[in-house]
Structure 1
Amino acid sequence: MGNKKKYYDLLKNIFALGFGLVGAKGVQFLLLPYFTNVLTTGQYGVIDLVVTFVGLMVPIVTLELSDSVLRFGLSEETNKTDLIQCSTIILAFAALLTIILSPLLYFYKSIREYSPYVVLMVVLQSIRVNSSLYVKSQNRVSVYSMDSALTAFVTAILDIYFISILKIGLQGYFLAELIGTCVSITFLFFVGGIYRNFKLNQPLDKALLKRMLSYSIPLMFNAISWWIASFSDRAMLNLFFSESEVGIYSVAAKIPAIITTLLSVFTQAWIMSAVREYEKERNPIFFERVYKIYSAFLFISVAALSLVIRPIMKIYVGQDFFKAWYYIPLLLFGTVFLGISNYYGAIYAAAKANLLEIKSTIICAVSNIIMNLIFIPHYSILGAVYATALSYVIVVIVRILDTRKLMHLKISVLDLAMSSALLLALVWLVMQGNIVISVLLFVMLLAWKVGYYFYEYRCV
C-alpha cells in the first residue's frame, strides 16, 4: 500500500492543481483567436514584450520571495504570522524598488508609452504570486486552483469590454490585467485565509527573514536565467527586425507556452512527491518509473499535436498570424526538453541543490543568447526558434550529468536519443508539408515508446 500511495498522492495533486490551471489556460486559449483578429502583429508584439518584461522584474525586485514562501510555508515549524509579516516587509521593499527603477523604462522604446502600467503590474503581480503560493503551502489547493480560473475569467471579460466596446486598445488590455490581479489578491486574502495571520503589530522575526532571504536570493539568479532564455529571442527580434516579427513569434510560442503551463501542473505536484520521497527513502525506482511514463507522454503528445497544428492554426488565429504555424512544431520539440528539464529540476529542489540548478539555467541562458546572436540576423524568426530549442536540449544534458551526483537513476540515454531523433525528423517533415511520412514516423515513435516501456518493465 505504501508504494501505491506515492503514485496516488502524485496523481491526486496533479488533478487538484490542474483543475484551476486548465480552466485558466482554457480561457487564454479561447482568447488568442480574439486577440489575433482585433490586434495587429505589432500590438501583440508589444503586449508580449511587456508581459515578459514583468516576468523578469517580479523575481528581481522581490528577491524571488515566492520560493521561500512556498518552502517555509510547507514547514510545520514555521509560524505563519511571522511568515506573512516577513513577506510583507520584502514586498514593501519590492514596491519601493520598482518605483525607484521605473525611470529606466524610458530607455526601452517599445514599452516606454506603457511604463505606468508596467510598474503597477510588477507591484501587483509580486503580491499575487506570493499570496497564491502561501495559500498553496497551507494545503488549500482548491482555493489556489479557483483563483487561477477566476482571475483568467475576470481578465478575459474585461479584455473584451475594454478593447471591443470601449475601444481603448492596448491600454484596455493592461487595465484588464491590473483589475484581474486586484480581484485575485482580494480573493486570496479573504477566501484563502491570509487575513487570519496578517498581523503587523508584533516584533519582526529577523532570524526567519534572514533564512528566507538566504534561501530565495540564490534562486533569483535561477529565475533571471530562465527569463533570459525566454526573452532574449524576443528582444533580439525586436532589435534586428520589428514588433511585427515579435508578434508572429509570440503567437507561434503561445501554443508551446500553453503546453508548458499544463506541464507545470505535473511539475508542481512532482516537486511535492520528489521532496517527500527523497527525504524518506531516496528509492530510485519511483523516480525512474515516473520519468518513463512522463517522457513517453511528452514525446507522443507533442508528436500528435505537431501533425495537426497547421489546420488548427488555420481556423484558430487571424489571417495575418497564420504563418506562425510554421515555427510551432520545432518550438514544441524544445518544449519536450523543457518538460524533461523540469523533471530534473524537482530532484534539485528535493536535494536542495540550488547551486547546481543555477548553474544549469545560466548555461541555458548564455547558450540561448549566443545562438540568438548567431541565428536571428540570418534566419529571423526561425533563428529564434533554433536557439530556443537547442538551449533546452543543452540544459537537459547538463541536468542529466548533474543528477548523477545526487542519486543514481537508471534512465536510458538510448531511449532519449532514439525518441528525440524520431520526433525531430517528424517535426522537420511537418514543417516541409510531408504529412504522410510524418504519420509513419509517429507510428514508429509510438511503437518505440510502448515497446521500450514494456521491455523495461519486464526487466525490473
Structure 2
Amino acid sequence: MNIKIHKIKSKYNNIPLPLKVSFWYFVCSLLQKGISFITLPIFTRVLSTEEYGVISIYNSWEQIIIIFLTLNLSNSVFNVGLVRFDNDRDNFQSSMVGLEIIITLIMSLILFLVYNSLIPIIQLDYRYIFIMTVQCFFTIILGMWTLRQRFDYNYKKMTIVSVLNIILGVLVSLVLVFMLKDKSFGKISGTAIILMIIGLFCFFDMVKGKKSIVNFKYWKFALLYNIPMIPHFISSVILNQLDRIMIQNMIGLSEAGIYSVAYSSACVVYILNQALAASYNPWLLQRLKKKMYSGIKQVVNAILLLYLSLLFLIILFAPEIMKIMATVDYYDGIYVIPPVACSMFFILLFTMFAPIEHYSLKTKFIGIASTVSALVNVLLNYIFINAFGYLAAGYTTLACYVIYAFAHWIYMKKCCKDDNMLLFDDRKILIMSVVVVSVAIVSALFYSYSTLRYLFIFSIILLCVSRRKKITAILAELTKKNNVQ
C-alpha cells in the first residue's frame, strides 16, 4: 500500500507545474458545482418553492447586474492584460483594482438612484440590492486574484482560498437559513459574508506594496477592451438566466423556484463539459498548429457519443433525480429536465467549434451569435411561457442553443474552408443533433412507464461497459502529455 502511495506521489510530483495549476483550477470548479448540487436537496427541504424562487431570481439578476456594475473586469481583459503587460503585472493588477473600485461605486450610486423605477421589474427590496452590489464587487476581486495565482503558478494558495470560500459559504448559509425567519435572505447573505471576508484578503494581497491603484494607461486599455464585450456578456447571461426572471414576472416566484431546481438538476452534466473542454481545447489547438488533422473527427464523434449516453441516463433517471433533489412541491419540474439536459449537448458542440474560430483569429462572430440567440430567447420565452406556462422555458432554451450551435457550425465551416481544413463529420453530428432534439420531445412520455425506462437505462449502461476500452483510449489520447509534439 505504501509503495502504491509512493508511486502515485512520485507521478504527481513529476507533473509539469502548468498542468498542476490547470488540474487544481478544475478541481476547484468541480468542487464548487459539486457542493451546490449536493446541498441542493438540503435547501429544497427547508425552503418553500417561493423562497427558493427568491434565491433563483436574486442569482439571475446578480449575473446581469454584475456586468453593468463592474464591467466584468476579471473576465477577458484581465487575462489579456497579464500577458500584454507581463513586465509590469503588479502595477497592471493594482490599477485594475483601482478602476474596479471607481466603476462599482459610480454604477452602484446610479443603481440606487434609479432603483424605485426598477422595482416592478427586479422585485427585490433594498437589502438584497445592497448585498448584491457588495457581492458583485468582491466576485470580481476574487476572480482577478485567482487568475493572477494561475499566472504565477500559485496553485496551493489558489486552491486553499477557493475551497474555503466554497465550504464556508455553504456552512454559513445553512446556519443562517435555520436561524433567520427570512430563509431566502439567510441563504443569500451567508454566501455574501464569506465572499466579502475572503475578497478583502484578496483585495489587500493585490494592492500591498504596489506603486499606485491609478494608472490611466491601463484604465484606458481595460475600458476600450471590455466595453465592446458587454453585449456578448449580456447575451450569454440572458441565455442562461433570463428564463427564471421572465417566469417570475409572468407567472410567479414559486414557479421560478421549481424551474430553477429542475434546471440545476439537469445542468449537473455541465461539469463534464468543462472537464472535456479543459482537455479537448489544448489537444485540438496543438493539432491545428501542427496541421495534424487526421483522427480529429473520430475523437470528436466518440466524445459526442459518450456524452449522449450520459445525457440519456440523466433524462431517464429524471424522476429519481427530482425525488432526491427536492420535495414533492418541486416535482412538476421533472418535465424541464429533458430539454435543458439536451441543451448541454449543443453547448458542447459550441465548445468543439469555438477553438477553430479562436485559432483562425475570427472571434467577432461569437458576440454576434450570442446576441442573436439571446434576442430569440426573449421572444420565444414571451410567446411560449404565456401560452404554455413555465415548462415551455426548457424548450425555448433548447431551441436557442440549437440556433447558437448551428450558427457557430456555419462560421466554423467558413474558418475551416479559409484555412483548407476538414475536421468534423458533419453527417454524424447532424444525426446526433436530430436524435437529441427528438429525445427531448418524447422522453417525458416514458416517465409513467418505469419498467421501460429501466430497460433503456440497462441497455445504455451495457453499451458503455462493452465500449469501455474505446472510451479509455479516447480519454488517454486527450490527456496524453505532449501528444502532438
Alpha-carbon RMSD: 3.4
Q: Name the count of aligned residue pairs.
A: 445
Q: What whole-Å deviation, never above 9, does each CA across 1:34-93 have from its counterpart, x for those lacking one?
A: 111111111111111111111112233332322111223245735211221331132012
**1:233 aligned to 228, 243, 266, which one?**
243
Amino acid paired to 1:150: L
CA distance in 1, matches of 2:371, 2:462: 35
**1:133 aligned to 147, 168, 174, which one?**
147
Within-5 A mapping of 1:273-422: 280-281=289-290, 283-285=292-294, 288=297, 291-407=300-416, 408-422=421-435
SS in 1 for 2:414: coil
Is 1:20–1:146's contact at 8 Å kept on the other side of the alignment? no
CA distance in 1, matches of 2:409, 2:113: 42
Query: Compared with structure 1, are the counterparts of its residues 98 and 342 closer, same or farther at alpha carbon in structure 2 (3 Å cutoff)?
Result: farther
Gaps of 5+ in 1: 1-7
Within-5 A mapping of 1:116-265: 116-186=130-200, 188=202, 194=206, 199-201=210-212, 204=215, 206=217, 208-265=218-275
Query: Compared with structure 1, are the counterparts of its residues 420 and 55 closer, same or farther at alpha carbon in structure 2 (3 Å cutoff)?
Result: same
Where does residue 4 of structure 1 map in the other structure? none
CA distance in 2, matches of 1:289, 1:189: 46
Query: Compared with structure 1, are the counterparts of its residues 277 and 267 closer, same or farther at alpha carbon in structure 2 (3 Å cutoff)?
Result: same
Amino acid paired to 2:24: A
Q: What whole-Å deviation, never above 9, does each CA across 1:291-343 have from its counterpart, x for those lacking one?
A: 33442332221112212121122132122112212211221001111122133
Q: What whole-Å deviation, never above 9, does each CA across 1:238-264 have from its counterpart, x for those lacking one?
A: 222111111111111112333324523
Q: CA deviation at 1:425?
A: 3.7
SS in 2 for 1:405: helix
Where does residue 423 of structure 1 map in the other structure? 436
Q: CA deviation at 1:287?
A: 5.8
**TM-score, length-normalised on structure 2?**
0.81
Q: CA deviation at 1:386?
A: 1.1
Amino acid paired to 2:41: P
Is 2:21–2:154's contact at 8 Å kept on the other side of the alignment? no
Deviates more, 1:429-438 or 1:379-388: 429-438
Where does residue 5 of structure 1 map in the other structure? none
Is 1:47–1:170's contact at 8 Å kept on the other side of the alignment? yes
CA distance in 2, matches of 1:165, 1:50: 20
Is 1:14–1:269's contact at 8 Å kept on the other side of the alignment? no
Is 1:245–1:381's contact at 8 Å kept on the other side of the alignment? yes
Query: Compared with structure 1, are the counterparts of its residues 125 and 14 closer, same or farther at alpha carbon in structure 2 (3 Å cutoff)?
Result: closer
Amino acid paired to 1:123: F
Q: CA deviation at 1:269?
A: 5.7
